[in-house]
A = this chain, B = another copy of it.
Amino acid sequence: MAVPERGPRERMVFSAAQLIRRDGVSSTGMRDVAAHARAPRGSLQHYFPGGKEQLVNEAVGWAGRYAGNRVARFLAALPEPTPGALFALMVRQWTDEYETHGFGGGCPVAAATVDRAGSADSTREAASAAFTGWTGAVARALADMGVPAERSAPLATLMISSLEGAILIARAERSVRALTTVARELGPLLDAALPGAGSGPSPGAAPGSDAFLLE
């Protein structure tokens, strides 16, 4: 909500992402997008001559860029950045939304993947690019923290996989349990990838370091 004061085109892309992440791609109609963006219906065919597929692809791309930028902002907000703390922030973004706005929405990239990966190849590629960009941003953040180069990309993939899966489970259960669980379980493992750490703290029983406990 609070549609920003951008042009109608950008508003429609933004609204498409919003509606897709709530209802899925197939259940989101073009008319709904225009109405949600308070944009004239006639503008759809003007700005998106490629039809729904183009609109969906741009929405997915927008979401991917948003997620990537968000990682950079998270990194900047951390006083002393560690991988586990970054992951806790990524998870917290979702727990905060679910606790204040309800469990209405998921990840638009996941939605696009689930019901277009098998039918619209361009959308599948858009989703792939979104995941790649997001993973790259996380991997760069990890590398900045000192995680060895050959470990940063795999760990980024693990973080995003766990987050996406936990989002799914959280929506189904209408509970943030899965999200807080993965943050708590994965945090110690992630911090153990830092060069300073020996074999790392005993996982799941990190004493004193409660950066993984959201709330």
Which A residues lie at the B interface, using CB under 8 A? 22-27, 103-106, 109-111, 113-119, 124, 127-128, 130-132, 151, 154-155, 157-158, 160-166, 168-169, 171-174, 177-178, 181-182, 184-186, 189, 192-193, 198-204
Bound Cα distance A119, B178 (Å): 21
CB distance from A58 to the nearest CB of B (A): 16
Contact A161 B189 (CB under 8 A): no
Across the A-B interface, the 5 shortest Cβ-Cβ residue pairs: A24-B115, A161-B165, A164-B165, A26-B26, A165-B165
Tell me which residues across on chain B come within 8 A of A171, comparing CB atoms.
113, 117, 124
Contact A173 B131 (CB under 8 A): yes
Bound Cα distance A192, B117 (Å): 36
Bound Cα distance A99, B50 (Å): 32
CB distance from A105 to the nearest CB of B (A): 7
Contact A115 B169 (CB under 8 A): no
New A-B contacts (20) at CB < 8 Å, excluding given A114-B168, A127-B172: A23-B115, A24-B24, A110-B110, A110-B114, A114-B115, A124-B174, A154-B184, A157-B169, A157-B178, A157-B181, A158-B182, A158-B185, A161-B161, A161-B162, A161-B163, A164-B165, A165-B165, A165-B166, A165-B168, A199-B202
